[in-house]
Structure 1
């Protein structure tokens, strides 16, 4: 019987290869050069925080949002350039597949080959399911699910045509793991984003593209302002002030002693967009301060 000890000693003597996480921790502030990313819904809130964080990580960034938010797009582009990175703005509605194709083409023309797509754009609706119409559901799914699919498909086609590796990252939500009162259609759309993430991950796993999603909890953004106002109206609390419903929900649910801010989500996306996440695909990661455990 042959001994395996010499082989074991030989392996032990070699310096172990650094894991993806070790690479990320040792160089999290400097992604590989010549990386480009498109961030949708990046005119404000979480999308803006992601765009700025990835610029600090060394990405050149295409900032996307709706045409009505062109001034916000321009402002974020200016901030990114102030950080010393190249930036490009392009207004488009992610529900329009042709417009998303144009977004990707414009980004490649302006910044070079595409590395990463962050499908962040999304909407929320606060309404009882008893009052929710089929059109309400179709609208929610069209933006939050079909919009992600449009972005992932255009980006994947571009990356495959380049013959390079890449990353597709989508916005899910804590509501992708648990439905909430008054947020039924929103939860439907975000549960579906988890399934879409897995579907894309399986298809692209052997073609050099990883696919993941991030699931924010209660984040202090314009979207939560909408939820807060509607919840106060629903509960009939005329004495409640702006932010009261959000703060109460936060106190009741979140383990850590504060609400989330957009930068908390951007930190997670920074990791998912880094070399440290190269062996991760098909996953949806919650960042909610311990609200869902």
Structure 2
């Protein structure tokens, strides 16, 4: 029997990067998987155990409708992965309030909405469940030009810890993951952003971040997905309220 066979998982932001890696990992582990993203989630191969739901993870109606679609298609919801997020690079003194709101809304509000919808469904089912939220190493250490991103990801850690205590009587575990430097399609945008504010080239930015990782390489979506899958396993039932890092020994994450 596969690790998550017979369980249903929803992943927000599942169309690319870390989110797509998580979708693929849970499918490999035997789960039914629903991806909620602004664009369709395309898999390498068709799977009857997969549903791509197009919607906004930071919109209340979209999230509630996606959970309802998961229940209608697969009969329930066992695991929610609130992975959707965005990043931007700017000094505070040059940052528009609209940018601050966009980053904090998507990174934090989507976690609240996804967690709330999942918790409501899991409580109705009465068999417990697992919620795993996306924070970041940047949520555990401040960084110049990333104040909005750092603030939103730090808030996810505190929200996760609070919700873990609140939902423990329902046997719903809540944890978050705090990746370090993970190589995804977003890295080019990140490198270009830092190049703009630091005067370095994008290639210099990338190599500087790579050199900061003691393990000697960037992480991959598969690295993060393996940890998320493990956190969701029944054997991990005594782990709740934690922020789990995957960062190649980069400190102090």
Q: Match for residue 246 of structure 1?
A: 206
The residue correspondences of 1:59-70 to structure 2 (distance < 5 A) are 59-66=31-38, 69-70=39-40
The reply on whether 1:121 has 2:84 as its aligned counterpart is yes
User: Which of 45, 55, 62 is the equivalent residue of 1:79?
Assistant: 45
Residue 63 of structure 2 corresponds to which residue in structure 1?
A: 100
TM-score, normalised by the number of residues in structure 2: 0.95
Please, which of 19, 39, 44 is the counterpart of residue 47 of structure 1? 19
Distance, in Å, in 2 between the alignment partners of 1:280 and 1:97 is 28
Matched residue, 2:238 = 279
8 Å contact kept, 1:218–1:224: no
Q: Which has the higher helix share?
A: 1
- SS of the residue 2:81 aligns to: strand
Please state how far the C-alpha of 1:80 moved relative to its aligned partner.
5.9
- 1:118-197 counterparts in 2 under 5 A? 118-197=81-160
Larger Rg: 1
TM-score, normalised relative to structure 1: 0.83
- Cα RMSD (Å): 1.4
Shift of 1:36: 0.4
CA–CA separation in structure 2 for the residues paired with 1:264 and 1:219 = 9
CA contact (8 A) 2:4 2:26 kept: no
Aligned length: 252
Aligned to 2:9: 37
Q: Does 1:291 align with 2:250?
A: yes
Unaligned runs of at least 5 residues, structure 2: none
Structure 1, unaligned stretches of length 5 or more? Answer: 1-26
Q: Is the 8 A contact 1:126 1:227 kept in 2?
A: yes
Query: Equivalents in 2 of 1:80, 1:194: separation in Å?
Result: 35
Deviation at residue 111 of structure 1 after TM alignment: 1.5
- 1:155-214 deviations in whole A, cap 9, x for unaligned? 110111111110000100000110111111000000000011011101001111000000
